Structure formats: structure tokens, C-alpha cells
Amino acid sequence: MSKSTLSAGWIGLGRMGFPMAERLIKAGFKLSVWNRTKSKAEPLAALGAELVDRPSDLAGVDVLFTMVSTGDDLEQVYFGSVGVATGTRRPPIFVDCSSIGVEQSDVIRSRLHALGSQFLVAPVSGNGKCVKAGKLSQVVSGPRDVYEKVLPFLETIAGNGVAYVGEGDLARICKIAHNVFLGVIIENLAEITILAERAGVPRHAFLEFINNSVMGSIFTRYKTPALVNLDWTTTFTVPLLRKDMDLGLELGRELGVALPVTAATREAIQAHFGTAALQSDPEAYLAKDFAALLETVALHAGHKLVSENKPLKTGLEVD
């Protein structure tokens, strides 16, 4: 894999951003980084990254990557009072790996174009463990020539493959579709797991069968330990999943595509919020990983869940 001669900056070092930036640095790319909480960036400095004090300090890089929580966060680091695009200099290429709405992304693109910069959208599929294991995948849209320039970075971040899908915000559409699929899969996986367990099949045995079947996937395999051992360490929450289901349904209405399975799944996921309201700490219940949908399915079935305490591999272990 060829290295790029472009200088690069990175903004956003959360659950996903940190291992993505770390992967670039360990592969030999020179990276300047900024994060709202500077202490989270310090481990990268030990690996060779340059830490800067404000987003505007990255205005001189050739390509700027961002991985932030919301579209408003993205606008702030680009166009806020110390934003990277507010001075006389700015990066000629911006690559956003965040998951934000299409309309807001289009507005951001227009503002950057007016300033003379190019914009690629490059959302990813996977979690932090996928990044470390080299099993992250990425979908990209924007100018093809700009994509080719930054491809060495993208191929390093996404060890499982990069898909270029065209101009504009088509990658955002792909990400919405991806997360709709994610919602359908996790909800149905929770349902059939409880179905099998109610009949007397241990969760670990049922999921082993699924993972070894034609229906198994990287996703079902790496979620199995959580479902078996009731480990709801957060990678993605149910409120975020519901938001993406709603975005998918909205897109379906706009484009005239019927999404009955999506609609049914969205309402099944809504039940998690009603269940949360009955808990002693509703916010904590909703802050769990989205695999905790298993708890709601079990409660509605009158089924008591108990951790099976099985040491299981995720398939994402790094040697």
C-alpha cells in the first residue's frame, strides 16, 4: 500500500476517531491532531502525532479528516470562532467520516466549495474493535479525482475495503441504508435468540450455530459475547439507531420506496423506550449498547435473562 505525500490533520478522537487516527500513525503517516479534550489525544503524541491547541492550527494541512458526533459539531470545528476554515488559509481537501444528515452535509459542502476547498464524505461501518482488527469498511462519495488523492489514507483506515459510490452525498445515503439494515438485523437477532432460549437452547449454542451458518457475519460474531454475557458496554446506542431508522423511512418517503420491514423494525425498537421508562434509571437503560434490545425482547416475553459467563472470541482479536 503506497503512502501519500499529503500532510494530514485529524479532528475528533472518540470511540471511533481515536483508533482510526492511531491506525494511520502506526502505518507511518504523519498526522497533526486536535481533540476537544486534549488528554484523549496525548497517547497519540507518544506514537508520533503532533498535538495542536485549536482547530484553526490545522489550516495548513493538505487534507483534514474529521470524526465527530453531530453535524453541529462538524460545523463548529469547520466554521466556528477557531474553526479550521475561518482563516486566510484552509485545507484544500476535507474528508468527513462522521455520520450526519444529508441536508446538513450538503450545506457544509457548499460553504467549503465557496471557500475553494473540496469535500469528501466517508462514513464507516464497524466499531473501534473493527478498526484495530483491520475489519472496518468505508463508503466514500465526492469528486473522483479527490478520492484518488486520499485513497492511501482511506485504505489504511478501512482494512476491510473502501467503496467509492459517486458524487455528492451518496455515501451518506449508503450509511443510512447500512444502519437501517443494522437495526433490522440486531432486532431480529434478539428476537430469534430469545425464541430459541425459551425453547431450551442456550444462547451461546444458538449463536454459535448462527455464526457458523450461511447467515453468520462479522457483525453476528462480534456481538455474540455481548448477547451471551449481557455485556452492554456501549458502541452504539438505541436512540442513535432509532434516529437512523427514522432517517431511512424519511428517505424512503422522499424517493417513493416502500420500506415495510424498516417500519415494523422501527416500531419494535420504539418498545425499548417504553421499557426504559419503567426502569429505575431510564437514561442509563438507554445509554446501554444497542445489543441491549435483547433485554426488552426478553421482558416482553416474560423471560428472565441471566449471563452465561462464557469466554467467547469476537473474531476481532488483534494478535
Mean pLDDT of the chain: 96
User: What are the angstrom distances between the C-alpha of 308 and each of 204, 230, 304?
Assistant: 8, 8, 12
Percent above pLDDT 90 for the chain: 93
CA nearest neighbour of 61 among 80, 39, 33: 33
Q: Write down the pLDDT at residue 7.
A: 96
**d(Cα 62, Cα 5) in Å, to the nearest integer?**
9
Single-letter code of the amino acid located at 110: S
Mark 67-76 as b/e (b = at least 16 C-beta within 10 Å): bbbebebbbb
C-alpha cell at 32: 497533526
Task: Identify the band that residue 318 occupies on the pLDDT scale cut at 50, 70 and 90.
Answer: confident
Q: Do the Cβ atoms of 210 and 216 come closer than 8 Å?
A: yes
> What's the burial of 30, exposed, middle or buried (CB within 10 Å: 0-12/13-18/19+)?
middle
Q: CATH number of 8-168: 3.40.50.720, 3.40.50.11540, 3.90.70.10, 3.30.1490.20?
A: 3.40.50.720
Which DSSP string do the residues of 217-250 spell out, in sequence order? -HHHHHHHHHHHHT----SSBHHHHHHHHHHHHH
H/E stretch holding 261 reads: helix 260-277
Domain ranges, ordered by start, for the chain: 8-168, 174-300
Higher pLDDT, 159 or 266: 266
Q: What is the pTM of this model?
A: 0.91
> Is domain 174-300 in CATH 1.10.1040.10, yes or no?
yes
Own/partner pairs, 248-254, CB within 8 angstroms, 24+ separation: 248/176, 248/177, 248/179, 248/180, 251/102, 251/173, 251/176
C-alpha cell at 255: 424517493
- For residue 40, the 8-state DSSP code is G
Q: What is the pLDDT of residues 59-108, one digit of tens each?
A: 999 999 999 989 999 999 999 999 999 999 999 999 999 988 899 999 99
